[in-house]
């Protein structure tokens, strides 16, 4: 076999693995949607439209990364929208009290506040052994209630926020919005962590088989706590950049966003049964859902069908996950019979 043939084999194997991945399927759906929309309206991919699309998807991408980590452990975090809203309003109040506070310090405060709220979820789930669906549904209302009690109908306007902070939400470098670059950095950082580090792979072990993970010596409660703390921290980061992007802040910021976050992760290939999926897929899923919202009106599709399509994507993703799980199970049984 020639050297050229040897070099082609790894490349072909890598290409085959890529095209069979769930992330590629979601990316292909995104490409088809964009192509169809551009054919209907070539201005859809103008410089300004592309910038707006990146801006609109950045917050959802960051939230979807945190949600993916939680779902991989066979849990779910329904409180992310409320954490975002509380952190966003806190950002406005802090800047009113400390207008000269550096933007980087505000980002750190937001991440810290979000991590604290996420730790509340993690402690209740890991220590009290309460199902995540119940806990985060409760904290969804608790955190939102705290936000409403704190705001008391007050609305914070862009004039109350520093110009340097608002520039974070509208500025760009080389045509790429700052918010999109922050989201990209989050995706790459956690993608590498989950793939290349043992502590990151342990999240998958818990979601795949929690009993086996315990026997292997993994601290399941500690890892679940960490997953929710990470999700909260990223929701806190999203809350700060939400404040920078929109400027107008009240107690309703981020309300209802948690369902879109879960949908983005599931559509992006993160199996709701745990143990499968990547933050890259969740990020692509978030961009796909944002693009659907922007593209379907251009294609003349009513708002009802926009929601229906997202629901259909979720059901299709769950069905595909089940099909792949059954196919893998049959393959393993066939291998065992052959070995016997």
pLDDT in tens, 2-38: 555 545 555 555 555 555 577 888 888 888 888 888 8
The SS3 call for residue 15 is: helix
Q: How buried is 170 (Cβ within 10 angstroms: 0-12 exposed, 13-18 middle, 19+ buried)?
A: middle
Closest to 273 measured CA to CA, from 218, 212, 319, 335: 319
Whether residue 68 contacts residue 204, with contact meaning beta carbons closer than 8 Å, is answered with no
pLDDT reported for residue 46: 83
* Structure tokens belonging to residue 168: 């974070």
CA distances from 20 to 27, 34, 335 (A): 12, 21, 21
pLDDT given at position 105: 96
The domain spans of the chain are 48-323
* pLDDT beneath 50, residues of the chain: 1, 6
Enter the tokens of residue 183: 């989201």
Q: Give helix 47-72 / helix 257-267 axis angle, nearest 10°.
A: 80
Give the pLDDT confidence score for residue 269 in this predicted structure. Answer: 87
pTM exceeds cut of 0.85? yes
> Is domain 48-323 classified as CATH 1.10.600?
no
CA distance 50 to 29: 18
Residue 124 is predicted with a pLDDT of 93
- For 250-302, where are the alpha helices, taking DSSP H only? 257-267, 279-298
* CA dihedral angle for residue 11, residue 12, residue 15, residue 19, rounded to 10 degrees: -170
Alpha helices in the chain (DSSP H): 3-20, 22-40, 47-72, 80-97, 103-126, 132-151, 163-170, 178-196, 198-208, 210-215, 220-246, 257-267, 279-298, 303-339
């Amino acid at each position: 076999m020639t050297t050229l043939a040897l070099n082609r084999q790894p490349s072909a194997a890598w290409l085959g693995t890529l095209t069979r991945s769930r992330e590629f399927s979601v990316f292909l759906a995104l490409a088809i949607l964009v192509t169809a929309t551009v054919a209907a309206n070539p201005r859809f991919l103008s410089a300004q439209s592309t910038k707006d699309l990146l801006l609109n998807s950045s917050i959802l991408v960051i939230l979807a990364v945190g949600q993916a980590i939680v779902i991989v452990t066979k849990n779910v975090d329904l409180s992310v929208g409320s954490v975002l809203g509380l952190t966003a309003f806190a950002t406005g109040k802090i800047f009113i009290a400390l207008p000269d506070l550096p933007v980087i310090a505000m980002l750190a405060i937001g991440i810290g506040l979000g991590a604290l709220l996420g730790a509340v979820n993690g402690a209740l789930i890991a220590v009290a052994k309460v199902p995540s669906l119940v806990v985060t549904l409760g904290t969804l209302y608790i955190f939102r209630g705290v936000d409403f009690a704190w705001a008391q109908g007050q609305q914070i306007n862009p004039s109350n926020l520093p110009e340097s902070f608002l520039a974070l939400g509208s500025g760009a470098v080389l045509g790429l919005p700052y918010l999109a670059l922050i989201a990209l950095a989050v995706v790459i950082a956690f993608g590498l962590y989950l793939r290349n580090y043992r502590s990151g792979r342990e999240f998958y072990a818990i979601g795949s088989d929690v009993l086996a993970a315990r026997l292997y010596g993994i601290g399941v409660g500690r890892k679940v706590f960490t997953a929710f703390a990470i999700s909260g921290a990223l929701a806190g980061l999203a809350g700060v950049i939400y404040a920078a992007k929109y400027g107008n802040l009240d107690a309703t910021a981020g309300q209802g966003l948690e369902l879109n976050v879960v949908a983005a992760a599931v559509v992006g290939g993160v199996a709701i049964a745990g143990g499968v999926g990547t933050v890259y897929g969740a990020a692509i899923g978030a961009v796909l859902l944002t693009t659907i919202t922007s593209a379907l009106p251009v294609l003349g599709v009513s708002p009802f069908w926009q929601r229906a399509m997202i629901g259909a994507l979720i059901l299709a993703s769950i069905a595909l996950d089940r099909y792949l799980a059954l196919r893998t199970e049959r393959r393993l049984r066939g291998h065992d019979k052959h070995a016997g």
